[in-house]
């Protein structure tokens, strides 16, 4: 049996629990998506730890399906506090106060447990109360094809918590790159490393609405170039994060 750890978010209590499990079951086979997560597991006492890339959702989008022009800003995935939904609300508030009309789409579907924390709920209430005319919501979980189509012509806003996502793989980033959507994100994260590696968006020090808007405008003015870089990133990441790597580990 293999156990795949998407991420750990270690604290002293969790580290103690994992260390006790390692002492009782030292032969457990563990998989991690990055070397940092793998090293954290080894430090807990596990010996059989391998790195297996986080499996990406295959993208069947052809070049003909690529939307050549910018359509909207996109906040994709589950609305959560650690994914910066409060910062998204502050940014939209800035757009409204500045008289902007840039379209923005926000997915507001809850997390896997079908619940919202207080920060998320308040942020969603703020978004609704703003009445920004160019804001639209996607509140239902979308079929895969419809979800993937959101990234066509989009600029993906990922203002994720810099501590929580320091070495945490983001499926939304993989989906954005596969869909040719440049990303605006924050420094010090796995997401930022991908964006900088491929010049597929902009990386900011903090979630300042003025800085976010400047980054969005820069990408909008050079959208074809950033889209090309994102699409190239998607093609490479489709290979590097192919589910075949995980399959080979599991069947070896």
63-67, 112-116, 142-146, 207-211: least confidently modelled range: 112-116
Tell me the pTM.
0.87
The arithmetic mean of pLDDT across residues 116-145, rounded, is 92
Q: Are 196 and 203 in contact (CB under 8 A)?
A: yes
Give me the percent of the chain exceeding a pLDDT of 90: 68
Q: What is the DSSP letter of 10?
A: -
Cα separation, 246 vs 55, whole angstroms: 7
pLDDT, position 46: 93
Which letter does DSSP use for residue 63 in this model? G
Retrieve residue 60's tokens.
Answer: 């069947």
Asked whether the CA dihedral 164, 168, 171, 176 is positive or negative, the reply is positive
If you compute the radius of gyration of the chain from its CA atoms, what whole number of angstroms results? 19
pLDDT in tens, 159-205: 999 998 988 889 999 999 999 999 999 999 999 999 999 999 999 99
**Cβ pair 88, 156 in contact under 8 A:** no
Angle at 36 between CA 79 and CA 185, to 5 degrees: 35
Q: Find the mean pLDDT for residues 16-32.
A: 91
Q: For the domain 63-239, what is the CATH code?
A: 3.40.50.2000
**Closest of 86, 218, 96 to residue 160, by C-alpha:** 86
What is the rounded CA–CA span in Å between residue 224 and residue 247? 35
For residue 154, give the DSSP letter.
Answer: E
Question: How many CA atoms within 13 Å lie on the side-chain side of 56?
Answer: 23
How high is the pLDDT of residue 112?
45
For the chain, give the mean pLDDT: 91
Domain residue limits, the chain? 2-52, 63-239
**pLDDT of the residue at 184:** 99
How far is the C-alpha of 4 from the C-alpha of 221, rounded, in Å?
A: 41
64: pLDDT strictly greater than 70: no
Cite the DSSP H helix spans in 25-97.
35-43, 85-97
């Amino acid at each position: 049996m293999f156990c795949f750890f998407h991420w750990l978010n270690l604290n002293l209590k969790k580290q103690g629990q994992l260390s006790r499990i390692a002492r009782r079951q030292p032969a457990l086979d563990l998989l991690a998506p990055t070397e940092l997560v793998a090293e954290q597991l080894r430090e807990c006492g596990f010996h059989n730890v391998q790195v297996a890339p986080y499996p990406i959702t295959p993208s069947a989008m052809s070049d003909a399906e690529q939307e050549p022009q910018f359509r909207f800003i996109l906040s994709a995935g589950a609305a959560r506090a650690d994914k910066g939904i409060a910062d998204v609300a502050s940014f939209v508030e800035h757009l409204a106060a500045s008289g902007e009309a840039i379209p923005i789409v926000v997915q507001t579907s809850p997390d896997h447990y079908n619940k919202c924390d207080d920060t998320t709920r308040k942020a969603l209430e703020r978004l609704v109360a703003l009445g920004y005319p160019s804001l639209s919501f996607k509140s239902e979980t979308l079929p895969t094809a419809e979800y993937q189509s959101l990234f066509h012509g989009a600029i993906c806003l990922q203002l994720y918590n810099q501590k929580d996502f320091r070495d945490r793989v983001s499926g939304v980033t993989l989906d954005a790159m596969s869909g040719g959507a440049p990303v605006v994100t924050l420094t010090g994260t796995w997401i930022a490393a991908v964006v900088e590696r491929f010049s597929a968006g902009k990386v900011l020090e903090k979630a300042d609405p003025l800085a976010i808007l400047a980054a969005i405008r820069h990408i909008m003015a050079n959208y074809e170039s950033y889209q090309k870089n994102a699409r190239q990133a998607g093609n490479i990441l489709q290979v590097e994060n192919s589910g075949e790597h995980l399959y080979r580990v599991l069947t070896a």
